[in-house]
Every structure is written in C-alpha cells, then in structure tokens.
A = this chain, B = another copy of it.
Amino acid sequence: MSVLIHFSIFPLDKGKSVSPYVARAVKIIGESGLKFSLGPMGTSIEGEWDEVITLVGRCLQELKKDSDRVYMSITADYRRGGSGRIESKVESVESRI
C-alpha cells in the first residue's frame, strides 16, 4: 500500500466527449479491489507499485481495443511504510487549515 497515484486516461480520436471511455477504465479500476477515489480530473489509486501500474496497463489495454491514440497522465507518490494514505493525506491537510 506504499504508492498512491493520480491517473487519467482518455482517447484522442473520439472527439470531445470522452466520458464513455473514461467510464470503461474506471469500471476496471473499481473491480480491481484496490482502494480508489474518483475525482473530476482523474482517479486516485492506492496499492503496491506493481498492483497499481498493472491496473493502469489494463485500462490502456481496454481503450486500445477501439482507439488508435490514447493519452495517460500519472503522478505517483511512494512513501515507505505508507498505508491508508488515500484518506489520511486529505485529512492531514484538512486538519491544518
């Protein structure tokens, strides 16, 4: 549970309404069993690096089925011994403001 990522994925060849494609990726994330949190600009996912990045690869695999060009943005925050950070990072900031 030492990595937290923020992940967004969308096709470039399907026009400006990409939510049906995003939804297919989010469905895969939801079925993965990993902790996740859906946001307006991407999905945060917590797990071990191999787990989260395998999941990202499966989302790309899914969108590749009918898209010729797919864009992804991933930011990752590894912290040794970190766990439950998908909640605790927000709480830690909120407690200070």
User: What residues make up the interface of A, taking CB atoms closer than 8 Å to B?
Assistant: 4-6, 8, 10, 12-13, 15-16, 18-20, 22-23, 26-27, 30, 37-42, 44, 46, 49-50, 53, 56-57, 60, 64, 68-81, 85-87, 89-90, 92-94, 96-97
C-alpha spacing A93/B94, complex, angstroms:
26
Which single residue of chain B is at the shortest CB-CB distance from A13?
B16
Which single residue of chain B is at the shortest CB-CB distance from A79?
B69
**Number of copies of this chain that the complex holds:** 4
Which single residue of chain B is at the shortest CB-CB distance from A39?
B39
A26 touches B69 (CB 8 A): no
Instruction: Please give, as numbers and ranges, the residues of chain B lying within 8 Å of A71 by CB-CB distance.
Output: 71, 75-78
